[in-house]
Amino acid sequence: MKIGVVVHDPEIIDRGCALLLINYLKKRASVEAVLGGTMGRVAVIDAGLEDVITTRRRPSQSIQDLQAASDVIFLLNQAKSRESGLAFGAMVAKAAGTAKPLMQIDCGGRFVAVLSGKEGEGRCEGAVLIDHWLGIPIIGIVDGDLDRLAASMVMLPGSVVIQVLPGHDDLVGRQVKAEIFQGERRICIGADDLVKRIKILAEDCIILIDLF
């Protein structure tokens, strides 16, 4: 699998979120990361990331450049609010006009959005099935040992952690994938509805639900 990453604006680089996400993706696929726009050039140099994030054109053009060699493209940015982040993502997706799956991770607005692809038409509220994701609000299913996440993970506001009986986290995860996501990695569903459906599936083995 090949992943294209477009990094926009210097703040997401300065705060370390861009490198965190790029390194996470590199553990799972081949990644080509580029800078969308010119504002982040100094931040890339200051962070010593010239070999990690190369310079390209504005975000929509960078997405177009990456689409031929990428199976999926991520747009990473740090908006001041959820609303401005969503507006930016929609604008970039429209200008790029790519049919490849395009996902936005906004570390400022604290959301993940599907901008194009099967579930991106019609950016409804979406959910993405991702194992052990870092740096974004999550709905997590963990067992009694917390899957060793507590020491290495910062839970952002909006996250929900559902603790189940020891050894049941993978079982419940498979049920969620099969019965709620129906084998897909992305579906259109609100966070509250997703939590309610998980609670129904895991009712007999839930120990605790933490809201962040």
Report residue 197's pLDDT band, with 50, 70 and 90 as the boundaries: very high
Question: For 83-114, how does the pLDDT look when each residue is reduced to its tens digit (9 = 90+)?
Answer: 788 888 889 998 998 888 898 988 887 777 77
In the chain, what are the domain boundaries? 2-123, 139-211
Please determine, for residue 3, whether its predicted confidence score (pLDDT) is greater than 50.
Answer: yes
Q: What is the pLDDT of residue 124?
A: 47
pLDDT, position 57: 78
Buried b / exposed e over 79-117, threshold 16 CB at 10 Å, is beeeeebbebbeebbeebebebbbbbbbbbbbbbbbbbb
* Two structure tokens written together for 201: 């599936």
For the chain, give the mean pLDDT: 80
pLDDT score of 155: 54
Look at residue 121 in the predicted model and tell me its pLDDT: 44
At 26-73, the pLDDT tens digits run 888 899 999 887 677 778 877 888 888 887 678 899 999 999 999 999
Q: Counting Cβ atoms within 10 Å, is residue 41 exposed (0-12), middle (13-18) or buried (19+)?
A: middle
pLDDT band at 6 (very low <50, low <70, confident <90, very high): very high
- Does residue 63 contact residue 73 with C-beta atoms inside 8 Å? yes
**Residue of 189 and 40 predicted with greater confidence:** 189
Of 157 and 126, more confident: 157
pLDDT at 166: 85
Q: What is the mean pLDDT of residues 6-15?
A: 87
Residues in the chain: 212
The yes/no answer on whether domain 2-123 falls in CATH 3.40.50 is yes
